[in-house]
Chains A and B, each alone.
Chain A
Amino acid sequence: MDREEAQYILQLCRPENSEDRNDPLIAEALELLNQDAELSAWFEEQQALDTKISAEFNRVEPPADLYAAILAGMRANAVQSQLLIGNKGEDAEQDHHPIRFTQPTNRSEQRAGLRAWMGIAAIFAVAGVALMLSRSEAPTQLANNDQSAAGASPIIATAGAPNMIEFLAQQISEFNGSKFDKRGVQVGDLQSHLASTGMPNPAQIPQQLKQLTTIGCVTFDYDGTKLSMICFKNGQVYHLITVDKARVPIDCTPCQGQKSKVFEAQQQAFKVWAEGEQIFILTTQGSEEDLADFI
């Protein structure tokens, strides 16, 4: 785990929370603090700011059942969207949980408290509707794969990733810097190395990736198929994997007319596309949103 990865994970650590500090992923990142003074200073600053933000939210005392009401509303929206029912208004009314505010000590405090928490309620109401709409659209999108394929939208599969993608996810999860075949900050040097060793060498590299610094390259053997991986760095680490088109399993490759496919496996997002005689896979930790700049 390098500093950028550690920063990404340490943001998930709540201040003074022992549960988080015992989380294996966070604990691994926390261990780096002893070896990296800069990372340690950054983490202290983040924790101080998190503490301050939490304290500011706590300055407006919520009604006792507000949190429960928010969560109940969110769950109701989630269920509603999954069922894709028609009479949303009527059901939303049934799911409504009235929030009771305690009597204020004075009128100005009452107005301030109401305003603030009505704001939060509004936030969740809007978010709930957005969630409902986005989920309502999802099955339509899946049902119209062929239509989507004709356009620029990638097909996203978040479950049942192909075995090759699962293999790559596992390799990347277990990967550490000492395993690089070659280290280098220039992508050209890494491409030359791959070419000289007869490994898949990307004929083309996306323009956005070219602007990033590289860390190194490594090759994998998946059931006799050679895959090369070049790692780029830009606050977050991105991996570009190249493999000969003829060797890629059919469940992994974009179908005819599709521009690309996106998978998620082991907390990593994978975008797969074909170009010439090669298949390219771009991956990073997180979701397909983290690949948005490259899609």
Chain B
Amino acid sequence: MRRSMDGHLAIEALEEVDAVYREPVALFYLKDLSYKEIAEILDVPIGTIMSRLSRGKAQLREIFKRKETETSANTL
């Protein structure tokens, strides 16, 4: 049976995201902030945040999928 990831593995995945992308990505998922709000809070140009979110989310998704696969494999 396939076991779902728990919150701890999600956080582990976030830790593996490159540091420069981690803050905007964390605020996107954890605080549910818009890209404009994140830009304002971090005091970074909107274009920079758009770029960091795009790259950071792509990284997190890949790490997330990998960990999900590993977790599934370990439970077989």
Q: Does B34 lie at the interface of the complex (its beta carbon under 8 Å from any beta carbon of A)?
A: yes
Known: A58-B7, A127-B23, A264-B48. A119 touches B34 (CB 8 A): no
Which residues of B in the span 22-76 have a Cβ within 8 Å of any Cβ on A?
Answer: 22-23, 26, 28-32, 34-36, 41-43, 45-48, 50-55, 57-58, 60-61, 64-65
Question: Do A11 and B11 have beta carbons less than 8 Å apart?
Answer: no
Known: A49-B61, A74-B23, A75-B41. A289 touches B51 (CB 8 A): yes
Q: Which residues of A contact B22 (CB under 8 A)?
A: 123, 127
0/1 string, A44-69, CB within 8 A of B gives 1? 00100110111011111010000100
Question: Do B29 and A57 have beta carbons less than 8 Å apart?
Answer: yes
Question: Do B30 and A289 have beta carbons less than 8 Å apart?
Answer: no
Size range of the interface on B? 35 or more
Known: A12-B53, A57-B30, A264-B48. A78 touches B43 (CB 8 A): yes
Question: Do A59 and B6 have beta carbons less than 8 Å apart?
Answer: yes
State the interface size on chain A (CB cutoff 8 A).
49
Main secondary structure, interface of A, reads helix
Question: Do A124 and B26 have beta carbons less than 8 Å apart?
Answer: yes
Q: Does A1 lie at the interface of the complex (its beta carbon under 8 Å from any beta carbon of B)?
A: no
Q: Which of A20, A59, A120 contacts B26 (CB 8 A)?
A: A120
Question: Do A120 and B29 have beta carbons less than 8 Å apart?
Answer: no
Q: Which residues of B contact A56 (CB under 8 A)?
A: 4-7, 9-10, 64
Chain B residues packing against A (C-beta within 8 Å)? 4-12, 14-15, 19-20, 22-23, 26, 28-32, 34-36, 41-43, 45-48, 50-55, 57-58, 60-61, 64-65
Chain A residues packing against B (C-beta within 8 Å)? 8-9, 11-12, 14, 17, 19-20, 23, 46, 49-50, 52-54, 56-60, 62, 67, 70-71, 74-75, 78, 112, 115-116, 119-120, 123-124, 126-127, 130-131, 158, 264, 266-269, 285-287, 289-290
Could you jot down 11 A-B contacts, CB within 8 Å?
A8-B54, A11-B58, A17-B34, A49-B61, A50-B29, A53-B61, A57-B30, A286-B48, A286-B50, A287-B45, A289-B20
